[in-house]
C-alpha cells in the first residue's frame, strides 16, 4: 500500500519502522505533510541566512527565533494544527523573500532556498520533500539524526529566548547545520562529524537555558511537592516553559484559583522564585501520555506550553489552551511575542466557572537536585560513595511513553540494589518517582534534577564527581546510563552526552528507527551505545548481581 505519510522521528513510531498511514501520536497525514514542508522551508531559509553570514551580513534575532520555533512546531506531540503550520510556512517564505534580496551572491543556492510557491501548491511540494526524499538510507539516517537533534536544541533555545537570553553562535550553528542537510556533496563521514558537533552545541544550548532559568528564578533547591488537591478551581499548566508559568502565576494571583503543574512542569516547584505564590498548589497527575484520563478529572482549564499534547477528547477540548509552538485545532491559542506579556485572562476567567479538580492521589514527592543543590551536598555524597553506602549511580533520565515495554523502567528501579541511587531528569521519572525507594543516609534514592533539559545538571554533577575523585575519564565514575527516550529533545540530550565523552549509554525501550544498521553500528562501535535487555539481565550487567 502506498504511504500516506512517513515519519519515524519518535520512539513510538509504528512497528518500530515508521508511521505511514497515521501517526501513533495522532498526527494525520495532512498535518505530517505540512510539517515536512515546514522543515524544508526552514532549511531553505537557513541556507539563505548561512550565506548572508558568510557575506558578513547580520541576521536579525527574529529570524533566528523563527527558525527555532518552526523546528519546535514539528517536534512530536507539539502541533497538530494544519492551518497554524501552513501560516508558519507562508511567513517563513515571506521572510526568506526579504532576505534573498540582501544577498550579493545568490548563485548555487540549494533548491530549498529558492523555492517559493502559493499555498495552493503546498501539498504537491510536500509530497516531494519528506524524509524518504533522501534515497540512500545511511545519508537519510544521518540527516534525520542531525535534524532531530536540532529540533531538540531549538526547543531549548526557544525557552532561553523567552527569558531574553540568546546565543547567536547556537543560532548560526542550527542554521548552517540545517543547510548542510540539503548538501548532497556531504558524505556519511562528514554528516557523522556534523551529528557529533550538534552534540557540542547541545551542551551549549542546555547551558544557555540553565543560565536563563537560574538567573531568572534562582537555583532549584530540595522541595517537597504536594500531589493532592485543594478545594478551589484550578488551572493545570503543562510543558516546559517557565516564563509562561511565571506570567500565569502573576496574572492569577488573588483570583480565587489555584495553579497546578503537570508532567514536565513539575520541576518548576523546585525554583525559589515560584515559592512566593500561595496559589501555586502542587503537581497533578503523571507523565504526558496519561493526560486524557487526568485532564478529564481536572475539571478546570489546561494550558499546554509545549509538547507533549495528546489530541483531546471532545469532553475537555474546550478547556484545553495552547501557546507558543503548540497547536491543536479547535482549541484556544494564546500568542505572545518574545519579551511581551501574554494575556492569560481568558483561561483565568474560564477557571473561575469550573469545579475544583478531582483528587487523583495524596502525599508528596521530593525533587530539586539540580547541580547547585547537589554540589551543596557534595561532602555527604562523596562520603557515602567512599564508605560504600552508595555503590553506584544510574542515570535514568529521559522520557516516559505509553508503550507497555516501558514498564521495564519501573521494574528496573524497584529491583535496583539498595545501595544504588537514581539520577533523573525529564518525564521518565514518573515511572518510579512515587515508588517507596527510600534514602541512603538522608540522600533520596531518586535524585530529580528537573526537566529533560536539566540533564545538563546531571552532566555537571558527573563532571564534579570526576574532579572530586581525581579521575581522568568520566567513564571511570561509578555511574551507569540507562536512558529512556521518546522524542527529539532526548536526541539532543544523547548527542550532548556523546560529546561529553560518555560511553556505554543504554537506550530504550527500543533503539531509534531512524538509525540505519550502518549508522547504528557506528554508534555501537565508537560509543558503546546499546539497547536494553530484560530487567534481571540488565541489573546483572550494570551491578553484577
Residue 10 contact partner, candidates ligand SF4, ligand FSO, none, CB within 5 to 8 A by sort of partner = ligand SF4
DSSP secondary structure, 283-352, as one string? E-S-SGGGHHHHHHHH-S-EEE-SS---PPPHHHHTTEEEETT-B-TTSEEE---TTSPP--HHHHHHHH
Q: How far is the CB of 27 from ligand SF4 (least distance, A)?
A: 4
Q: Cβ contacts of residue 198 below 8 Å, gap of 6+?
A: 146, 149, 150, 153, 173, 177, 492, 495
Q: How far is the CB of 211 from ligand FSO (least distance, A)?
A: 19
Give Rg (Cα) of the chain: 23
Using the rule CB under 6 A, give the single segment among 21-29, 269-277, 448-456, 464-472 that binds ligand SF4.
Answer: 21-29
Which member of 1, 4, 19, 164 binds ligand SF4 (CB under 6 A)?
19
Q: How far is the CB of 19 from ligand FSO (least distance, A)?
A: 17
Q: Is 164 exposed, middle or buried (0-12, 13-18, 19+ CB in 10 A)?
A: exposed
Q: Cβ contacts of residue 537 below 8 Å, gap of 6+?
A: none
Where would I find the beta strands (DSSP E) of 398-445? 420-424, 439-440, 443-444
Q: Is 17 exposed, middle or buried (0-12, 13-18, 19+ CB in 10 A)?
A: exposed
- Using the rule CB under 6 A, is 10 a contact of ligand SF4? yes
Residue 9 contact partner, candidates ligand SF4, ligand FSO, none, CB within 5 to 8 A by sort of partner = ligand SF4
Q: How far is the CB of 152 from ligand FSO (least distance, A)?
A: 7
Q: Could you tell me which of 53, 56, 73 has the C-alpha nearest to residue 171?
A: 53
Collapse the DSSP code of 275 into the 3-class scheme (helix H, G, I; strand E, B; otherwise coil) and give the result. helix
- Using the rule CB under 6 A, is 8 a contact of ligand SF4? yes
Indicate the residue among 89 and 287 with the shorter CB distance to ligand FSO.
Answer: 287
Using the rule CB under 6 A, give the single segment among 5-13, 193-201, 217-225, 250-258 that binds ligand SF4.
Answer: 5-13
Q: Could you tell me which of 183, 304, 159 has the C-alpha nearest to residue 242?
A: 159
Which member of 1, 3, 4, 13 binds ligand SF4 (CB under 6 A)?
13
- Using the rule CB under 6 A, is 12 a contact of ligand SF4? yes
- Using the rule CB under 6 A, is 23 a contact of ligand SF4? yes
Indicate the residue among 77 and 516 with the shorter CB distance to ligand FSO.
Answer: 77
- Using the rule CB under 6 A, is 27 a contact of ligand SF4? yes
Residue 236 contact partner, candidates ligand FSO, ligand SF4, none, CB within 5 to 8 A by sort of partner = none
- Using the rule CB under 6 A, is 25 a contact of ligand SF4? yes
Indicate the residue among 110 and 149 with the shorter CB distance to ligand SF4.
Answer: 149
DSSP secondary structure, 157-191, as one string? HHHHHHTT---HHHHHHHHHHHHHTT-TT--HHHH
Using the rule CB under 6 A, give the single segment among 11-19, 85-93, 136-144, 427-435 that binds ligand SF4.
Answer: 11-19
**φ, ψ (nearest 5 deg) of residue 282:** 160, -165
Residues at the contact surface with ligand FSO, assessed by CB under 6 A: 263-264, 288, 307-308, 399, 426-427, 451-452, 486-487, 489-490
Indicate the residue among 4 and 91 with the shorter CB distance to ligand SF4.
Answer: 4
Q: How far is the CB of 225 from ligand FSO (least distance, A)?
A: 17
Place of cell 494571583: 253
Using the rule CB under 6 A, give the single segment among 16-24, 110-118, 270-278, 368-376 that binds ligand SF4.
Answer: 16-24
Collapse the DSSP code of 393 into the 3-class scheme (helix H, G, I; strand E, B; otherwise coil) and give the result. strand
- Using the rule CB under 6 A, is 7 a contact of ligand SF4? yes
Q: What is the largest CA-CA distance in the chain?
A: 69
Indicate the residue among 18 and 336 with the shorter CB distance to ligand SF4.
Answer: 18
Q: How far is the CB of 141 from ligand SF4 (least distance, A)?
A: 14
- Using the rule CB under 6 A, is 151 a contact of ligand SF4? no
Q: How far is the CB of 27 from ligand FSO (least distance, A)?
A: 14
Using the rule CB under 6 A, give the single segment among 12-20, 44-52, 335-343, 498-506 that binds ligand SF4.
Answer: 12-20
Collapse the DSSP code of 233 into the 3-class scheme (helix H, G, I; strand E, B; otherwise coil) and give the result. coil
Cross-strand partners of 282: 260
- Comparing every residue's Cβ against ligand SF4, the nearest one is 23
- Using the rule CB under 6 A, is 9 a contact of ligand SF4? yes
Indicate the residue among 241 and 246 with the shorter CB distance to ligand FSO.
Answer: 241
- Using the rule CB under 6 A, is 24 a contact of ligand SF4? yes
CA torsion sign, 201 to 204 to 210 to 212?
A: negative
Q: How far is the CB of 12 from ligand SF4 (least distance, A)?
A: 5
Sheet holding 234-238, edge to edge: 280-283, 258-261, 234-238, 302-304, 320-323, 332-334
Q: How far is the CB of 85 from ligand SF4 (least distance, A)?
A: 14
State the binding string over 63-102 for ligand SF4 (x if CB under 6 A, else -): -------------x--------------------------
CA torsion sign, 32 to 37 to 38 to 43?
A: positive
**In Å, how far are 14, 377, 470 from 476, measured between CA atoms?**
38, 21, 10
CA angle (286, 434, 227) in 5-degree steps? 60
C-alpha cell at 527: 560509543
- Please state, in angstroms and rounded to a whole number, the distance separating the CA atoms of residues 204 and 213: 14
Residue 427 contact partner, candidates ligand SF4, ligand FSO, none, CB within 5 to 8 A by sort of partner = ligand FSO
| Chain residues that interact with ligand SF4, rule: CB under 6 A | 7-10, 12-13, 19, 23-25, 27, 76
Amino acid at each position: 500500500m502506498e504511504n500516506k505519510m512517513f515519519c519515524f522521528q519518535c520512539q513510538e513510531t509504528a512497528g518500530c519502522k515508521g508511521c505511514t498511514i497515521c501517526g501513533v501520536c495522532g498526527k494525520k497525514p495532512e498535518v505530517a505533510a505540512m510539517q515536512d514542508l515546514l522543515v524544508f522551508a526552514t532549511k531553505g531559509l537557513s541556507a539563505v541566512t548561512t550565506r548572508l553570514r558568510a557575506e558578513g551580513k547580520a541576521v536579525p534575532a527574529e529570524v533566528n527565533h523563527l527558525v527555532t520555533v518552526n523546528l519546535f512546531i514539528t517536534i512530536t506531540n507539539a502541533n497538530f494544527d494544519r492551518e497554524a503550520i501552513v501560516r508558519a510556512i507562508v511567513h517563513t517564505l515571506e521572510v526568506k523573500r526579504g532576505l534573498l534580496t540582501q544577498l550579493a551572491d545568490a548563485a548555487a543556492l540549494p533548491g530549498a532556498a529558492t523555492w517559493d510557491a502559493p499555498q495552493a501548491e503546498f501539498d504537491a511540494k510536500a509530497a516531494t520533500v519528506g524524509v524518504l526524499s533522501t534515497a540512500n538510507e545511511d545519508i537519510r539516517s544521518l540527516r534525520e539524526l542531525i535534524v532531530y537533534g536540532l529540533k531538540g536544541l531549538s526547543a531549548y533555545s526557544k525557552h532561553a529566548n523567552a527569558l531574553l537570553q540568546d546565543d547567536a553562535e547556537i543560532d548560526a550553528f542550527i542554521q548552517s547545520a540545517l543547510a548542510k542537510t540539503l548538501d548532497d556533496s556531504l558524505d556519511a563521514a562528514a554528516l557523522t562529524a556534523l551529528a557529533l558537533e550538534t552534540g557540542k552545541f547541545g551542551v551549549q544550548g542546555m547551558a544557555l537555558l540553565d543560565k536563563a532559568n537560574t538567573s531568572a528564578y534562582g537555583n532549584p533547591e530540595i522541595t517537597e511537592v504536594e500531589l493532592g488537591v485543594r478545594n478551589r478551581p484550578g488551572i493545570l499548566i503543562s510543558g516546559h516553559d517557565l516564563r509562561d508559568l511565571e506570567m500565569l502565576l502573576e496574572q492569577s494571583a488573588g483570583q480565587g484559583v489555584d495553579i497546578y503543574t503537570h508532567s514536565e512542569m513539575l520541576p518548576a516547584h523546585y525554583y525559589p522564585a515560584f515559592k512566593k505564590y500561595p496559589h501555586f498548589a502542587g503537581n497533578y497527575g503523571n507523565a504526558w501520555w496519561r493526560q486524557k484520563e487526568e485532564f478529564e478529572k481536572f475539571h478546570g482549564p489546561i494550558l499546554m506550553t509545549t509538547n507533549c499534547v495528546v489530541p483531546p477528547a471532545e469532553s475537555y477540548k474546550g478547556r484545553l489552551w495552547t501557546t507558543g509552538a503548540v497547536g491543536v485545532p479547535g482549541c484556544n491559542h494564546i500568542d505572545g511575542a518574545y519579551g511581551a506579556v501574554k494575556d492569560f485572562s481568558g483561561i483565568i476567567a474560564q477557571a473561575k466557572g469550573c469545579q475544583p479538580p478531582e483528587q487523583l492521589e495524596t502525599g508528596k514527592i521530593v525533587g530539586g537536585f539540580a547541580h547547585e543543590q547537589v554540589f551543596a551536598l557534595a561532602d555527604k555524597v562523596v562520603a557515602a560513595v567512599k564508605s560504600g553506602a552508595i555503590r553506584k549511580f544510574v542515570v535514568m533520565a529521559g522520557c516516559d511513553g505509553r508503550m507497555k515495554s516501558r514498564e521495564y523502567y519501573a521494574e528496573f528501579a524497584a529491583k535496583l540494589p539498595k545501595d544504588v541511587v537514581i539520577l533523573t531528569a525529564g518525564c521518565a521519572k514518573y515511572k518510579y518517582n512515587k515508588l517507596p525507594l527510600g534514602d541512603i543516609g538522608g540522600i533520596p534514592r531518586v535524585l530529580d534534577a528537573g526537566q529533560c533539559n536539566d540533564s545538563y545538571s546531571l552532566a555537571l554533577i558527573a563532571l564534579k564527581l570526576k574532579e572530586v575523585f581525581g579521575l581522568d575519564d568520566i567513564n571511570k565514575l561509578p555511574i551507569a546510563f540507562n536512558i529512556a527516550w521518546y522524542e527529539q529533545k532526548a536526541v539532543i540530550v544523547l548527542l550532548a552526552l556523546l560529546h561529553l565523552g560518555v560511553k556505554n549509554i543504554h537506550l530504550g525501550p527500543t533503539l531509534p528507527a531512524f538509525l540505519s544498521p550502518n549508522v547504528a553500528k557506528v554508534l555501537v562501535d565508537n560509543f558503546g551505545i546499546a539497547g536494553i535487555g530484560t530487567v534481571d539481565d540488565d541489573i546483572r550487567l550494570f551491578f553484577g548481581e
